[in-house]
């Protein structure tokens, strides 16, 4: 563990580096039968379980077969406050979920169990619930049987699909009920103060048409901004042993709990890869969660990932390109972090494969992200031969400073004496307000709910060939000069004379996907009002272009697509 100790020293003494202040470090045994370790078998954020203003976390040690609960604080103690014995549940490939099952405002822990058969192997056992509170119960408060006919039960907490203010418990089984046919089943439970142990709804694969669900709910969030949680699943279609197609489905939250897919993408019908897509928290402040996916030809080769802004119908033309420095990042290993730099926008980090190591790349959100030269990640933690970076997770705000923190895990791969329960460690890294994102970010969602009256409209038509019209609005408050703004803020009895200027500096420019300016549409002074201008791209090649409006210090941009 020498390299672990060295890394701790580096994180501790490097006070000038960003996102390098260590809040918590714990050596433990980590389940790691593959190179990538899902967070839901190791790290379990609990929220503020004891209501002290600091978020808490449970960590699973596979050697002790127990989950150890650590309360947040400043400083955060490395001594667990409680532990829960998990027996063999996680060590044989299962996972657990953290959800407020009884709606008392405290997170509960859901643990499917397994039983050893006399003939060898395991079978699914009862599901145990450990209720939260000021102290989480260390013995089950509820035990119930899995769905009838189920052979597996991987739990998932889905945030309020039907808008009733309650989370949904979902169990995933790779098989159909009473069958070993691997077409997949999702079981949905109704979470009330009196929890119903019988699932109310299901989504299943189809053994007749041979539609197979691949891995349960991949990710969730509110992509249409209606206040209900949407989710996505993927799968593939077979004809006997012949592979026909793969697909991605999106289910939009609704009051009736309808479970028919609202959006389906088949790989055969699209250029983009429909499998590696994940919903991430709203990164640009428009109150719609967004989509992370692989680039498919819009950006240079070293941009492996792009972001689609949320909305229904979903615009599959990328809004943002991410320069991953020619390494692929994994949407399946991407975690929304909340706000880790204190600017009011959600941030996220992803695991990246880099010559066998697992790097971690973090991007801070904002209306014009990424906020780095070259659109690279704001922070990269590089993987090591000791397995640093093999797992990662959000954790909330463990030190109660108002800025979220993050977790990175380390586990040796193929460590002796076992290749399943290996030596490792968990690092909780402090959020960092020195990382600059959106310059209008602090309080932006409250102070600038509609961009302070400015508006840059969608180009119409879009896509276009070869002309399109761009409209923009300059509000009346934009024409206040600096001297008048100073008078207002200093509350002088009367304003100075001749401070009013009805004209402001306006530029509207068009850039190509590499950031090169290709046209200046407006560069003059204008008064408040709504204007429109025609852009003629007759001399430009097909592709994605961005149009950028600047009025004094206000800047915003949108994208459009030229198809010839």
How many contiguous H segments (helices) and E segments (strands) does the chain have?
A: 3, 35
**Cα–Cα dist 314/293, whole Å:** 13
Amino acid 297: pLDDT: 87
Amino acid 43: pLDDT: 93
Tokens 């390299």 locate to 3
**Cα–Cα dist 175/247, whole Å:** 18
pTM (2 decimals)?
0.77
Amino acid 88: pLDDT: 61
Q: Give pLDDT tens digits for 465-495.
A: 999 999 888 887 655 443 333 333 333 333 3
Is-contact 146 153, C-beta < 8 A?
yes
Domain spans in the chain, listed from the N-terminal domain onward? 450-562
Is-contact 78 24, C-beta < 8 A?
yes
SS3 content of the chain, % helix, strand, coil (to 5): 5, 40, 50
Amino acid 12: pLDDT: 36
**Cα–Cα dist 564/543, whole Å:** 9
**Which of 431, 440, 458 shows the shortest CA–CA distance to 285?**
440
**Which of 152, 7, 36, 3 shows the shortest CA–CA distance to 393?**
36
CB atoms within 10 A of CB 326: 11
Is-contact 290 277, C-beta < 8 A?
no
Helix (H, G, I), strand (E, B) or coil at 515: coil
Is-contact 475 453, C-beta < 8 A?
yes
Amino acid 480: pLDDT: 46
Amino acid 478: pLDDT: 59
Amino acid 294: pLDDT: 94
Amino acid 487: pLDDT: 32
Amino acid 393: pLDDT: 95
Stretches in the chain below the pLDDT threshold 70: 1-17, 33-34, 87-94, 373, 413-419, 438-453, 477-501
CB atoms within 10 A of CB 190: 17
Amino acid 553: pLDDT: 73
Q: How far is CA 93 from CA 26, 41, 79, 155, 207, in A?
A: 23, 8, 27, 12, 25
Is-contact 69 417, C-beta < 8 A?
no
Cβ neighbours for 402, distance < 8 A, ≥ 6 positions apart = 342
Q: How far is CA 560 from CA 143, 282, 284, 368, 535, in A?
A: 55, 21, 18, 16, 11
List, edge to edge, every strand of the sheet that includes 230-239: 211-221, 230-239, 242-251, 263-266
User: Dihedral through CA 94, CA 100, CA 102, CA 103, nearest 10?
Assistant: -160
| Architecture label for domain 450-562 | Sandwich (2.60)
* Residues counted in the chain: 564
Is-contact 131 108, C-beta < 8 A?
yes
Cβ neighbours for 514, distance < 8 A, ≥ 6 positions apart = 300
**Cα–Cα dist 25/392, whole Å:** 14
């Amino acid at each position: 563990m020498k390299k672990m100790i060295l890394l701790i020293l580096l994180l501790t003494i490097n006070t000038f580096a960003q996102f390098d202040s260590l809040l918590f470090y714990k050596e433990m045994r980590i389940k790691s039968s593959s190179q990538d370790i899902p967070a839901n078998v190791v790290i379990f954020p609990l929220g503020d379980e004891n209501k002290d203003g600091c978020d808490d976390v449970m960590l699973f040690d596979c050697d002790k077969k127990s989950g150890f609960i650590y309360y947040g604080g400043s400083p955060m103690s490395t001594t667990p406050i409680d532990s829960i014995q998990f027996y063999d549940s996680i060590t044989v490939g299962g996972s657990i979920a953290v959800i407020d099952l009884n709606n008392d405002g405290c997170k509960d822990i859901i643990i499917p169990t397994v039983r050893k058969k006399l003939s060898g192997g395991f079978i699914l056992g009862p599901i145990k619930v450990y209720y939260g509170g000021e102290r989480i119960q260390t013995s089950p408060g509820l035990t119930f049987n899995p769905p009838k006919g189920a052979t597996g039960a991987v739990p998932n907490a889905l945030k309020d699909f039907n808008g009733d203010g309650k989370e949904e418990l979902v169990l995933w089984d790779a098989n159909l009920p009473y069958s070993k046919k691997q077409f997949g089943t999702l079981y949905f439970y109704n979470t009330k103060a009196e929890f119903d142990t019988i699932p109310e709804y299901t989504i299943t694969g189809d053994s007749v048409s041979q539609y197979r669900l691949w891995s349960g709910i991949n990710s969730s969030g509110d992509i249409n901004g209606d206040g209900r949680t949407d989710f996505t699943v993927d799968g593939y279609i077979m004809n006997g042993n012949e592979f026909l197609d793969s697909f991605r489905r999106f289910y939009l939250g609704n009051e009736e709990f309808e479970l028919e897919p609202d959006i389906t993408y088949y790989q055969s019908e699209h250029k983009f890869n429909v499998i590696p897509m994940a919903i991430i928290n709203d990164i640009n402040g428009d109150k719609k969660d967004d989509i992370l996916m692989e680039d498919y030809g819009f950006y240079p080769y070293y941009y492996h990932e792009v972001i689609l802004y949320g909305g229904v119908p979903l615009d599959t033309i990328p809004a943002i390109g991410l320069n991953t420095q020619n390494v692929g990042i994994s949407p399946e290993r991407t975690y929304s972090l909340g706000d880790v730099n204190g600017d009011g926008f959600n941030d996220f980090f992803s695991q990246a494969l880099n010559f066998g190591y697992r790097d971690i790349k973090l991007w801070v959100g904002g209306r014009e992200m990424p906020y780095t030269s070259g659109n690279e990640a704001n922070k990269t933690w590089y993987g090591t031969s000791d397995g640093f970076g093999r797992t990662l997770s959000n954790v909330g705000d463990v030190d109660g400073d108002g800025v979220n923190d993050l977790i990175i895990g380390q586990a040796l791969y193929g460590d002796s004496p076992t290749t399943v329960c290996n030596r490792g460690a968990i690092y909780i890294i402090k959020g960092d307000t020195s990382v600059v994102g959106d310059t209008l970010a602090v309080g932006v969602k409250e102070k600038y709910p509609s961009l302070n009256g400015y508006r840059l409209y969608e180009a119409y038509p879009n896509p276009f060939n070869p002309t399109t019209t761009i409209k923009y609005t300059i509000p009346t408050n934009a024409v206040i000069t600096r001297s008048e703004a100073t008078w207002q803020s200093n509350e002088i009895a009367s304003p100075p004379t001749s401070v009013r200027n009805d004209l402001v500096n306006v530029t509207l420019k068009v850039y190509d996907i590499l950031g090169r300016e290709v046209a200046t549409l407006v560069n003059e002074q204008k008064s408040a009002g709504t204007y429109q201008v025609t852009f003629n791209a007759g001399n430009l090649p097909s592709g994605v272009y961005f149009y950028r409006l600047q009025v004094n210090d206000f800047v915003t941009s949108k994208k459009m697509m030229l198809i010839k």
